[in-house]
C-alpha cells in the first residue's frame, strides 16, 4: 500500500470516529501525510489549530452551558460558555477553511460539503442540531478520504481546461487576375443637340441634323 493510500485510510477512519482520542490521532497522522502530498501546509496547520480549539472549546462550552442553566453557578458558567463558544466558532471556521483548501487541491467536492456542514454546526452548537451537523460533516469528510483519488503532488485536482486549438486558417486565396473585357463602346452624340445616336447613324433622330 502506498503512503498516500495509507494516509487517506488513516484520515478517513479518524474522521469517522473523530469524537474519540484514537480518532483524533489517526485523523491528524493521516492529514499530515496528505498535506505533504499536496505540498500545502495550510491544510495540516489549519486542521491542527481547529482540533486544538475543538478539544478545549467543546468541554468549556458544554460545562458553561450546564452551569448557566443551573442558575446558582451562572456567574461561573457564563464566562466559560462565552470562551468555549468562541473556541468552537474558531474551530468550525478553521475546519471549513482547511477542508475547502483540501477540496480544491484534491478535486474532491465532499470535503467542501463537509467543511460547510461543520461550519454551520459550529454556529448552531448551542442547540442539539449543531452537534449533529458537525458529526455528519466529519462522516462525509471520512467518505471523501476513503474514496479520494491520488493526484500529482502539489497540484490542484481540478485541472485547468487546455485552451482550444484552432486550425490554422488557410492562406488567402490568390485570385488570378481575370482579363476583364471592357467594352469601350464609343457613344456618339449629335453635335447639334447632344442626343445620343447610333454609331453608324448619319442623321440625328431627334433634331434631324446631319452628323
pTM of the model: 0.70
Q: How many domains in the chain?
A: 2
Is residue 62 in a domain? yes
Do 18 and 78 lie in one domain? The reply is: yes
pLDDT over 60 (residue 185): no
Do 54 and 130 lie in one domain? The reply is: yes
Is residue 31 in a domain? yes
Give CA–CA dist 4/22, Å, rounded.
20
Q: What is the mean pLDDT of residues 70-78?
A: 86
pLDDT, one tens digit per residue, over 4-60 is 999 999 999 999 999 899 999 999 999 999 999 999 999 999 999 999 999 999 999
Do 139 and 191 lie in one domain? The reply is: no
Do 19 and 72 lie in one domain? The reply is: yes
pLDDT of residue 129: 85
pLDDT of residue 181: 42
pLDDT of residue 194: 74
Backbone angles phi, psi at 171, to 5 degrees: -60, 150
Give CA–CA dist 96/116, Å, rounded.
6
Q: Which domain holds residue 85?
A: 3-146
pLDDT of residue 209: 72
Cα 94 to the center of its chain, rounded Å: 18
What region, left, alpha or beta, does residue 144 occupy, with left being phi > 0 and alpha being psi -120 to 50 degrees?
alpha
pLDDT of residue 153: 58
Burial class (CB in 10 A: 0-12, 13-18, 19+), 182: exposed
Give the model's confidence band at 210: pLDDT under 50 very low, under 70 low, under 90 confident, else very high.
confident
Do 52 and 112 lie in one domain? The reply is: yes
Helices (H), 17-159: 21-37, 41-69, 74-106, 109-123, 128-146
C-alpha cell at 43: 491544510
pLDDT over 60 (residue 167): no
pLDDT, one tens digit per residue, over 196-208 is 777 777 777 667 6
Is residue 154 in a domain? no
Amino acid at each position: 500500500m502506498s503512503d498516500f493510500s495509507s494516509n487517506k485510510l488513516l484520515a478517513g477512519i479518524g474522521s469517522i470516529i473523530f469524537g474519540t482520542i484514537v480518532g483524533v490521532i489517526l485523523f491528524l497522522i493521516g492529514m499530515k501525510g496528505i498535506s505533504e502530498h499536496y505540498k500545502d501546509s495550510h491544510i495540516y496547520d489549519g486542521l491542527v489549530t481547529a482540533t486544538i480549539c475543538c478539544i478545549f472549546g467543546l468541554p468549556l462550552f458544554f460545562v458553561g452551558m450546564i452551569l448557566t442553566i443551573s442558575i446558582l453557578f451562572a456567574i461561573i458558567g457564563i464566562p466559560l460558555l462565552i470562551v468555549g463558544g468562541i473556541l468552537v466558532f474558531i474551530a468550525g471556521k478553521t475546519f471549513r477553511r482547511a477542508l475547502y483548501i483540501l477540496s480544491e487541491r484534491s478535486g474532491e467536492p465532499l470535503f467542501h460539503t463537509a467543511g460547510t456542514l461543520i461550519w454551520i454546526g459550529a454556529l448552531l452548537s448551542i442547540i442539539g442540531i449543531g452537534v449533529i451537523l458537525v458529526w455528519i460533516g466529519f462522516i462525509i469528510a471520512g467518505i471523501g478520504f476513503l474514496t479520494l483519488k491520488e493526484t500529482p503532488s502539489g497540484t490542484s485536482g481540478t485541472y485547468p481546461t487546455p485552451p482550444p486549438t484552432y486550425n490554422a486558417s488557410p492562406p488567402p486565396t490568390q485570385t488570378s487576375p481575370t482579363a476583364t473585357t471592357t467594352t469601350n463602346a464609343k457613344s456618339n452624340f449629335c453635335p447639334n443637340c447632344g442626343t445620343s445616336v447610333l454609331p453608324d447613324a448619319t442623321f440625328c433622330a431627334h433634331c434631324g441634323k446631319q452628323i
